[in-house]
């Protein structure tokens, strides 16, 4: 049998390993301020998938290859009815899709579309097998579907569907790769100093989900503070999550060994791949981890500054190359582990209390005429890496947080307290 044209990158391989333990499904949803025309919406979805060549997916899991064979799209659109308060039913639908598996290999339809109707409007939602694409590619796809649905179809150009893998980055930056590998012992020591997340069951990966928002005033306060402190929004969110963890572990500072707290963040390497990756439909993700002692009484501004210095160094020195290389090593080791051992690898050897995934839809959305950027929401799965992930999405003048968490580690009360604490800190930023 001839080889399929697409090759999986290291992070895609890792996602496939994660979804062997539990579905690894991301979900996006955006609000369209008009009544639903189901037939027209299905037609727009089918037309855009067909035009982009995103049909007929085949995954050769054994050899790490894939192909979009093309052909007509035949979308099955689930319609969910909601009242004026759309938040709870939308959160339930996102949670349902996040826990619904796709096929392991072979022919796969990696897209599940839904519409949730509310008063005078509806949400267009998409749950997708996360290994196929990063969030930026999904924004572009939904953007094109909405434009066609509203009578403004885009040009007929087809995006690149088989981008280069991350191995090219190792060849382009050999010295940075060597330096990154040299820092791995220090990372291992940091992991041994870090508080481990607790799970009542390592093998139960069920994700719960809730939607929260920062209104325009609170988001403006967050932006103003990050500019004043010269940090990014993601730096501030990581600092806020460190403080939230500290509240839940008041006794850790007296521990002899594990007293630090750790957070992780998804990062997009599309720019690192250069012009060849621009406009491609695919996944260019990696991640990084950082830990901090979070001393009692530390100010948010100081903590955000510490986080920023670390994230800046990670990007400048390309330490994410070590993360990608470690994923390859982990895949090799995983072949000799039981399913239970694989499920507990991250919690025991790479402890992380919470993670972030940030996406600025304002910077990605191509507007048609005077149409504003729509209200846009996301849910990102936790996987085995962390018990909690905050998918922070900026659209318009607000930020929406889709919070997913492992139910064997955290409760809804824990999540509500965490979010209330985050909002309170934002409102008292100095």
- 334-357: string of b/e by CB count within 10 Å (b at 16+)? beeeeeeebbbbbbeebbbbbbbb
Cα separation of 139 and 126, whole Å? 10
* 65-68 and 111-118 strand pairing: unpaired
* Residues 172-222: tens digit of each pLDDT: 899 988 988 998 888 889 999 999 999 999 889 999 999 999 999 999 999
Looking at the fold, whether 259 and 290 belong to one and the same domain comes out as yes
Specify if 105 maps to a domain: yes
Looking at the fold, whether 234 and 354 belong to one and the same domain comes out as yes
Looking at the fold, whether 97 and 208 belong to one and the same domain comes out as no
Q: What local confidence, expressed as pLDDT, does residue 369 receive?
A: 79
In contact, 388 and 355? CB cutoff 8 Å: yes
Specify if 158 maps to a domain: no
Residue 124: both structure tokens together: 């267009």
Q: What local confidence, expressed as pLDDT, does residue 45 receive?
A: 98
Looking at the fold, whether 403 and 362 belong to one and the same domain comes out as yes
Cα torsion 123, 127, 130, 131 to 10°: value is -120
Q: What local confidence, expressed as pLDDT, does residue 332 receive?
A: 78
Cα separation of 3 and 373, whole Å? 41
Provide the mean pLDDT of the chain. 93
In contact, 78 and 42? CB cutoff 8 Å: no
Specify if 47 maps to a domain: yes
* Residues 106-135: tens digit of each pLDDT: 999 999 999 999 998 999 999 999 999 999
| Residue the block writes with tokens 């799965």 | 381
> Quick check: helix, strand or coil at residue 273?
helix
Looking at the fold, whether 40 and 123 belong to one and the same domain comes out as yes
Q: What local confidence, expressed as pLDDT, does residue 430 receive?
A: 56
Q: Which residues pair with 265 in a beta bridge?
A: 288, 356
Cα separation of 327 and 231, whole Å? 28
CATH of the domain at 27: 3.30.559.10
Tell me the pTM.
Answer: 0.95
Q: What local confidence, expressed as pLDDT, does residue 328 receive?
A: 83
Specify if 73 maps to a domain: yes
Q: Where are the alpha helices (DSSP H) in 53-193?
A: 87-98, 135-149, 167-172, 174-182, 184-193
Structural domains in the chain (count): 2
Which region holds residue 169: left if phi is over 0, alpha if psi is between -120 and 50, else beta?
alpha
Task: Find, among 220, 216, 212, the residue nearest to 244 by Cα.
Answer: 212
Specify if 296 maps to a domain: yes
Looking at the fold, whether 202 and 238 belong to one and the same domain comes out as yes
Cα separation of 98 and 377, whole Å? 14
Enter the DSSP assignment of 261.
E
Looking at the fold, whether 297 and 344 belong to one and the same domain comes out as yes
In contact, 380 and 18? CB cutoff 8 Å: no
| Residue the block writes with tokens 């999904």 | 138
Specify if 155 maps to a domain: no
Looking at the fold, whether 114 and 198 belong to one and the same domain comes out as no
- Which residues have a Cβ under 8 Å from the Cβ of 339 and sit 6 or more positions away? 21, 203
> Quick check: helix, strand or coil at residue 292?
strand
Cα separation of 235 and 9, whole Å? 27
Cα separation of 211 and 203, whole Å? 25
> Residue 224's domain spans which residues?
167-427
> Quick check: helix, strand or coil at residue 139?
helix
Residue 271: both structure tokens together: 């720019």
CATH of the domain at 294: 3.30.559.30
| Residue the block writes with tokens 């060994």 | 257
Cα separation of 153 and 30, whole Å? 18
Looking at the fold, whether 143 and 253 belong to one and the same domain comes out as no
Domain limit, last residue, from 149, 181, 215: 149
- The neighbour count for residue 157, using CB atoms within 10 Å, is 8
Looking at the fold, whether 68 and 201 belong to one and the same domain comes out as no
User: pLDDT confidence of 325, banded at 50, 70, 90?
Assistant: confident
Task: Find, among 345, 313, 310, the residue nearest to 329 by Cα.
Answer: 345
143-147, 216-220, 249-253, 268-272: which range is least confident on average? 249-253
Looking at the fold, whether 289 and 179 belong to one and the same domain comes out as yes
Domain limit, last residue, from 120, 149, 178: 149
Enter the DSSP assignment of 118.
E
Instruction: State what percent of residues in the chain have pLDDT above 70.
Output: 99
CA distance to 241, 242, 303, 305, 402, per residue, from 294 (Å): 11, 7, 8, 12, 25
Enter the DSSP assignment of 131.
G
Domain limit, last residue, from 97, 115, 149: 149
The set of long-range contacts for 296-302, using a CB threshold of 8 Å and a minimum separation of 24, is 296/253, 298/243, 300/236, 300/239, 300/240, 300/243, 300/425, 300/429, 301/225, 301/229, 301/429, 301/430
Q: What local confidence, expressed as pLDDT, does residue 275 receive?
A: 83
Specify if 160 maps to a domain: no
Q: What local confidence, expressed as pLDDT, does residue 226 receive?
A: 97
Cα separation of 168 and 427, whole Å? 44
User: pLDDT confidence of 256, banded at 50, 70, 90?
Assistant: confident
* Residues 218-249: tens digit of each pLDDT: 999 999 999 999 999 999 999 999 999 999 98
Rounded to an integer, the average pLDDT of 253-275 is 91
Looking at the fold, whether 180 and 136 belong to one and the same domain comes out as no
Specify if 209 maps to a domain: yes
* Residues 34-67: tens digit of each pLDDT: 999 999 999 999 999 999 999 999 999 999 999 9
* Residues 73-118: tens digit of each pLDDT: 999 999 999 988 999 999 999 999 999 999 999 999 999 999 999 9
């Amino acid at each position: 049998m001839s080889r399929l044209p697409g090759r999986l990158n290291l992070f895609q391989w890792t996602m496939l390993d994660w979804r062997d333990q539990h579905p690894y499904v991301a979900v996006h949803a955006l609000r369209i301020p008009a009544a639903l025309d189901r037939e027209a919406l299905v037609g727009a979805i089918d037309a855009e998938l067909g035009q982009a060549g995103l049909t007929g997916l085949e995954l050769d899991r054994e050899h790490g290859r894939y192909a979009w064979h093309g052909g007509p799209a035949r979308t099955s659109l689930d319609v969910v009815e909601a009242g004026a308060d759309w938040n709870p039913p939308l959160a339930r639908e996102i949670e349902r899709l996040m826990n619904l598996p796709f096929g392991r290999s072979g022919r796969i339809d990696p897209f599940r579309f839904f519409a949730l109707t509310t008063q005078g409007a509806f949400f267009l939602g998409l749950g997708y097998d996360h290994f196929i694409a990063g969030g930026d590619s999904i924004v572009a796809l939904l953007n094109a579907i909405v434009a066609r649905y509203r009578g403004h179809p885009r040009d007929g150009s087809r995006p690149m569907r088989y981008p280069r893998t991350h191995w090219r980055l190792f060849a382009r930056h050999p010295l940075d790769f060597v330096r990154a590998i040299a820092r791995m012992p220090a990372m291992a020591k940091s992991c041994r100093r870090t508080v481990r997340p607790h799970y009542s069951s390592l093998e139960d990966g069920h994700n719960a989900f809730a939607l929260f928002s920062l209104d325009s005033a609170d988001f403006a306060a967050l932006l103003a503070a990050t500019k004043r402190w010269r940090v990014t929004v993601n730096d501030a969110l990581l600092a806020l999550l460190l403080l939230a963890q500290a509240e839940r572990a008041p006794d850790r500072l007296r521990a002899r060994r594990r007293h630090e707290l750790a957070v992780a963040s998804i990062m997009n390497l599309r720019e690192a791949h250069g012009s060849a990756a621009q406009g491609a439909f695919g996944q260019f993700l990696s991640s990084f981890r950082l830990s901090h002692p979070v001393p009692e009484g530390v100010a948010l501004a100081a903590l955000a500054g510490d986080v920023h210095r670390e994230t800046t160094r990670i990007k400048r020195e390309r330490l994410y190359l070590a993360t990608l290389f470690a994923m390859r090593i982990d895949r090799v080791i995983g072949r000799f582990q039981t399913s239970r051992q694989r499920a507990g690898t991250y919690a025991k050897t790479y402890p992380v209390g919470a993670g972030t995934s940030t996406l600025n839809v304002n910077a990605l959305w191509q507007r048609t005429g005077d149409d504003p950027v729509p209200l846009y929401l996301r849910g990102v799965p936790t996987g085995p890496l962390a018990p909690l992930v905050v998918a922070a999405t900026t659209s318009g003048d607000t930020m929406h947080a889709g919070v997913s968490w492992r139910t064997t580690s955290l409760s809804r009360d824990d999540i509500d307290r965490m979010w209330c604490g985050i909002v309170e800190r934002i409102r008292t930023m100095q």
